[in-house]
Structure 1
Amino acid sequence: MSTIKFGTDGWRGVIAADFTFENVAKVALATANYFKRHKKIRNGIVVGYDARFLSREFAETTAEVLANRGIKVILSDAISSTPMVSLLTRKLNAAGGIVITASHNPSKYNGFKIKGDFGGPAHPEMIGKVEKELKKVIKSKVKSKKSFQELVKRGTIKVSDFTSVYVEDLKGKINLDVIRSSGMKIAYDAMFGAGQGVLGQLVETRAELRSSFNPSFGGAHPEPLTQNMKDLASTVVMRGCDIGISTDGDADRVGAMDEDGNFVDSHRIFALLLKYFVEQKKMTGEVAKSISVSQIINKMCTKYGLTLHETPVGFKHLCRLMTERDILIAAEESGGLGVKGHLPERDGIFIGLMLCEIMATRKMKLSDLVRELMEEFGWHFFNRIDAHLTEKEKNRILAVYKKGVKNLAGFPVQRVETKDGVKLFVENGWVLVRASGTEPLIRFYAEAESLDKVNALLKAATSV
């Protein structure tokens, strides 16, 4: 059991070390044993996979284990994004979904995400039940009576086109006509991930980067952060594009570049969408955000009179709120946003297109939209540092913060929250220190009214 541990978003491990065919089969068996009692199990389980090394083969192993337990499997016929699996799960009224992906993690990782029948990340208690089932089978060898090929021939495993279903669904949710008629020039960076070839089926793109099969991600990190999007920034400027959109390894997270090649992070994308939904589309509902998301959302909710929920990091917490309450929009700091009327799930391509819709509808440059937002609610700057540390050093740092820090970069700590890690508030700013739930590292987050102050806070936070 020591090598199989579920984190904030499923189980992830290093390929060939702990993420092996044997372990994948055990997790698949535990998942099958959990779902076989589900009221919708006759409708089957949806299985998809990203563009990582051996992802298709791991997905076939998963499908084989499920089908040998009498469960109907709907398996993607090609690389599929996480939101595609969530969408198919909901459309087919399936018991659940599984995605073989390690999302934004480096290429040496792969992972196993579980989706609920509602079309979003499995709730924590669901994962807890799968883990209980895993304890029962962890020491056994999983045997399959019938091969993958035989199960496909029998129809227990049905290989299906997920992409076309997803594309058609988005056509009914995004105002593509206003985007197309605006003449907007779009650059898209798929980061060699599961979004490759999809955006171009919905809108015309002037340039597409890293939109081919490369399981090593070209040696880069498939996460839409400014340091990973330099080629997109330069392409936007050189090709005269109005916006650059980037999605991560499984295309559920998004990042953007404005027309000048400046990074527009998920905090600002969140705020732009919230403003558009309330002021332009007259939509209603509550708002949810992870603890690491900008305070600008708090200010906006106060102005609009909207209820705001704050959760620990992990979209599964936001997903629960989206399935239980009337949530207009929910988002996390790392580029994952979900909106009312789509899915209780992150969807990078959907959100990227919504950003294009806002620009086209309001006839404004992305930089001007951001400037308008900041002039109304105040300038907010954010940064994050990921520190790869030994377990000993990691525990030492966390212990220091749990014991209490009274001052950061000369700013007195005014209050502390421990909902997830340790969050320290200073005047017009904050720092959050928490262990990652998907990688062996500590994340340091900071927000303030200037970039200099953000960097000073981070320097102090990482120097304890």
Structure 2
Amino acid sequence: MISFGTDGWRAVIADTFTFANLRLVAQAVADSINETTDTTKQPEVVIGYDTRFLSDRFAIEVARVMAGNGIIAWLSRSDVPTPAVSYNVVDKKADAGIVITASHNPPRYNGFKLKAPYGGSATHEQSKRVEQKLQHMEMEGRGPNVMDYQRGLDTDMIRRFDPTWVYFQHISDLVNLDLISSSEMKVVTDAMYGSGRGALPAILARTRTKVTEIRGIMNPGFGGIHPEPIVKYLTDLTAAVQREQAHVGLATDGDADRIGAVDNLGNFVDPHHVFALVLRHLIENRGMRGDVVKTISTTYMIDKMCKAYDLTLHETPVGFNHIADLMMKRDILIGGEESGGIGVKGHIPEGDGILMGLLLLEVIAQANAPLNEIIEDLQRTFGPACYARNDVRLSKQLPKNVIVEKLQDTAPTTMNGQTVTRVNTLDGIKYYMADDSWLLIRPSGTEPVLRIYAEAPSHADVQALLAEGDKMGHSVIS
């Protein structure tokens, strides 16, 4: 059964993610596009892919199916960041975007991200429509319409192009490259062998920034790591920052829509801090205004900042698609999640690790201070805030709503010596304490795993909350 999650379809290569299944999914998307597109113009789709095994071949097959259904396929010439594909959907006024990528997942996975005409992820309704088309195809015993690749090129139904040109220009207009250039920073960029390779060095080549890129070659196995910019996979970046005596290290995930960083001392800078630093910069230094949106698992520093700056804060379930929905409906200044997907006003409603890396450089240049000192000032003003997450595998799986109801019924009055002031069941169950600390328990909907998040004034308090969350989670299963 092929089903779409919050950001498309992902599966193991050669298991479920096969050429045959991919062509079926592409046909379902083509059916949906042809059914909903204005008949006065020929529909168009922008297609990109990452550095994973066979991603380029998979992308060609998608283009062949689109062409076989009368849809012009703008196909990237090489691997490309997901945000570049998304921006080109808007720039070309295309009807959809498709990216062959499994983002930060292990190398054995590949995936199919579906983008809407506004450049963000397809809505839940759009994804469900594709799933329904798949079911109808199965019931009818109907296969995909596929055009020969060379014929597609000859008839201009398949158009190879470079999506990065207009994208680089657009995001360069969203940052102050002159300010960044004036600081003459040393920067290490880490593409983690993903499709963000070369992006930051190319943009910063127009400045006086000294850039060293690591893990920027094609390596479909990602050097034995997961291409996820979290501390356990960034030891190479930490070492490079220290070796180069750089001001900062910037890491993007497998398809460059997420950001992670390392400061001048080699300390990991998580997305919570990147989010908070950029928000403060946009307000205090750029004089920008607007609402703020964050997922339920994101730092309480954002809450404190919105209160201090008199900004309206929206909290959503986990998943950037929820943030994107609000970015299209309201005047959102910035929106972000703890996993590193962050988007800002003036851009598409999409997380963008490349843009956020550039904005972090702007933060450092504006402050004219080492990043570790900037973070210390942020913590003094809006902290202290320490954060950690554990994924706990359970002996058996229960429905997500059953686990949440049990946890709600047995909600404690105190945790880690602090009074529980309220409980939130927006996504999983979140307990708020009197000292601003919190614990979130989110059961996976697809596997027997509890995702346990905690934030508190000290690392010791965070670990104590995580331990309590572990016990609470196991107690409802036993």
Match of 2:122 in 1: 122
Per-residue deviation at 1:357? 0.9
Distance 1:225 1:67 in 2: 39
Task: Write out aligned runs for 1:378-393 (5 A).
Answer: 378-389=383-394, 392=397
Q: In structure 2, do the counterparts of structure 1 residues 326 and 401 end up closer, same or farther at CA, with 3 Å as the change threshold?
A: same
SS at match of 2:468: helix
Match of 1:433 in 2: 441
Matched residues in 1 for 2:112 and 2:343: separation?
21
Matches of 1:303 and 1:390, distance apart in 2: 44
TM-score by length of 2: 0.92
Question: How many angstroms apart in 2 are the aligned matches of 1:210 and 1:398?
Answer: 41
Equivalent pair of 1:243/1:257 in contact (CA under 8 Å)? yes
Match for residue 159 of structure 2?
Answer: 158
Secondary structure in 2 matching 1:425: strand
Residue 128 of structure 1: CA displacement? 2.0
Partner of 2:429: 422
Q: Is the 8 A contact 1:43 1:92 kept in 2?
A: no
Task: Tell me which residue corresponds to 2:450.
Answer: 442
State the match for 1:38 in structure 2.
Answer: 37
SS of alignment partner, residue 454 of structure 2: strand
Which whole-Å CA distance do the structure 1 matches of 2:371 and 2:438 have between them? 27
Identity of aligned residues (%): 44
Corresponding residue number in structure 2 for 1:454: 462
What whole-Å deviation, never above 9, does each CA across 1:17-48 have from its counterpart, x for those lacking one? 11111111111111111111223862501111
Q: What residue is the counterpart of 1:220 in the other structure?
A: 225
Please identify, of 32-41 and 205-214, the stretch whose mean Cα deviation from structure 2 is larger.
32-41
Backbone CA RMSD of aligned residues? 2.0
In structure 1, the residue matched to 2:48 is 48
Aligned partner of 1:105 in structure 2 is: 105
Q: How far is the alpha carbon of 1:205 from its aligned partner?
A: 4.4
CA-CA distance at 1:426 after TM superposition = 2.7
- The structure-2 alpha-carbon separation of the partners of 1:178 and 1:18, relative to structure 1 and needing over 3 Å to count, comes to same
Residue-by-residue CA offset, 1:282-312 (whole Å, 9 max, x unaligned): 1111111111111111111111111111111
Seen in structure 2, the aligned counterparts of structure 1 residues 391 and 153 have a Cα distance that, compared at 3 Å, is farther
- Quote the Cα distance in structure 2 between the aligned partners of 1:380 and 1:394: 32
In structure 2, the partner of 1:66 is 66
1:7 counterpart SS class: coil
Task: Return the offset for 1:389.
Answer: 4.8
SS of aligned partner of 2:23: helix
Shift of 1:239: 1.2
| 1:191 positional shift | 0.6
Equivalence for 1:401: 407
Q: Distance in 2 between matches of 1:325 and 1:221?
A: 35
The within-5 A match list for 1:164-203 is 164-203=165-204
Matches of 1:394 and 1:385 in 2, distance apart? 20
Q: Quick one: which amino acid aligns to residue 426 of structure 2?
A: K
Q: Compared with structure 1, are the counterparts of its residues 391 and 35 closer, same or farther at alpha carbon in structure 2 (3 Å cutoff)?
A: farther
Show the counterpart of 2:302.
297
Q: String of CA shifts for 1:79-100, please: whole Å, max 9, x gaps.
A: 0111011110010011111111
Q: Distance in 1 between matches of 2:255 and 2:446?
A: 15
Once the two structures are overlaid, the 10-residue window that deviates more, 158-167 or 190-199, is 158-167
Pairing 1:203-242 to 2, within 5 Å after superposition: 203=204, 204-242=209-247
Give me the whole-angstrom Cα distance separating, in 2, the residues matched to 1:440 and 1:282.
46
Q: Deviations over 1:218-268 (max 9, x none)?
A: 110111111111111121122100000000010000011110011111111
**Aligned mates of 2:344, 2:120 — CA distance in 1:** 12
2:278 to 264, 273, 276: 273
Instruction: For 1:450, give the aligned amino acid.
Output: S
Of 324, 332, 343, the match for 2:337: 332
Name the residue aligned to 2:16: 18
Partner of 1:309: 314
> Residue by residue, what CA displacement relative to the aligned partner does 1:339-373 show, whole Å, maximum 9, x if unpaired?
00122111101100110011112212111111111
Q: Secondary structure at the match of 2:287?
A: coil
Letter in 1 for 2:186: K
Mapped to 1, the partners of 2:316 and 2:382 lie a distance apart of 22
**Paired residues, what number?**
462
The answer as to 2:256 corresponding to 1:251 is: yes
CA shift at 1:143, angstroms?
3.6
Is contact 1:46-1:89 (8 Å) kept? yes
Report the residue type matching 1:39 in the other structure: D
Q: 1:148 offset after TM fit, Å?
A: 2.0
Listed as ranges, the gaps of 5+ residues in structure 2 are: none
Query: Which deviates more, 410-419 or 13-22?
Result: 410-419
The answer to whether the 8 Å contact 1:103/1:248 transfers is: yes
| 1:171 partner SS | helix
Provide the C-alpha distance between the structure 1 equivalents of 2:307 and 2:385, rounded to a whole number of angstroms. Answer: 16
What residue in structure 2 maps to residue 27 of structure 1? 25
**Would the aligned equivalents of 1:444 and 1:461 in 2 still touch at CA under 8 Å?**
yes
Tell which deviates more after alignment, 213-222 or 168-177: 168-177
